[in-house]
Amino acid sequence: MFKLDLKKIDIKKLNIDRNTILVTTFGITLLLEIIILFSVVFATSGTNKEINKLRGNLAQIEKEWPRRDNFSKQKENLKQEISEMHTKFILPQTESVLYSFISSESKGYNVQVKVLKPGAMQDYSTTKLGKFKYLPIIISAKASFHGLANFLDYLQNSKYFFDITELRITAGLPYNSIDMVICGLVKEK
């Protein structure tokens, strides 16, 4: 193995002058400074990106802060809307309440219901809220066109979810004959 003994090296024999030592020392120092400078630049570039991101977030917060009360109100309104939407579903075994609702409300619009019978339940959709089925309700009635339009509008905006899938109107005097299928949305447990 090779061992370097610095005591035996004579600098005078190496023939290195003072200027060479100074230039070499200066070069090594400069190289070390460049390495340190680049490492600092690379380290701060990531920090600068984070600072710019935080500045953007802060600007967004400053922009939205005056409207924070509106957000709270909107959140409460959305919660209330969602709660109301959940009550529009028909629960299993409560279909008779739905038939009673349709029958009683039709009288207020001069819609004379002759036939009101359920159809076969149909699969509709499964979501994270549960499994839903369509409950078709077959209705035959007599009404004026105006009374029927108001009644259907009322059903669409009522406390239950209804979808009109079929509607046939036969003109007649003084009342039109109506055959329709409306579907309620049943939420299974």
pLDDT in tens, 54-77: 888 888 888 877 777 787 888 888
DSSP 103-118: HHHHHTTT-EEEEEEE
Cβ(169)–Cβ(177) below 8 Å: yes
Query: Mean pLDDT score of the chain, rounded to an integer?
Result: 81
Residues sharing a CB contact under 8 Å with residue 150, sequence separation 6 or more, in sequence order: 109
> Has residue 121 got a pLDDT over 60?
yes
At 125, give phi and psi (nearest 5°): -160, 155
More confident residue, 178 or 86: 178
Residues sharing a CB contact under 8 Å with residue 166, sequence separation 6 or more, in sequence order: 179, 180, 181
Amino acid 140: pLDDT: 93
Amino acid 10: pLDDT: 56
Model pTM? 0.53
Percent of the chain residues past pLDDT 90, beyond the cut = 8
Amino acid 23: pLDDT: 84
Amino acid 141: pLDDT: 92
More confident residue, 48 or 14: 48
How far, CA to CA in Å, does 160 sit from each of 117, 140, 186?
17, 20, 10
Q: Which of 120, 129, 122 is nearest to 87 (CA)?
A: 129
Cβ(133)–Cβ(186) below 8 Å: yes
> Has residue 95 got a pLDDT over 70?
yes
> Has residue 157 got a pLDDT over 60?
yes
Distance CA 93, CA 182 (A): 18
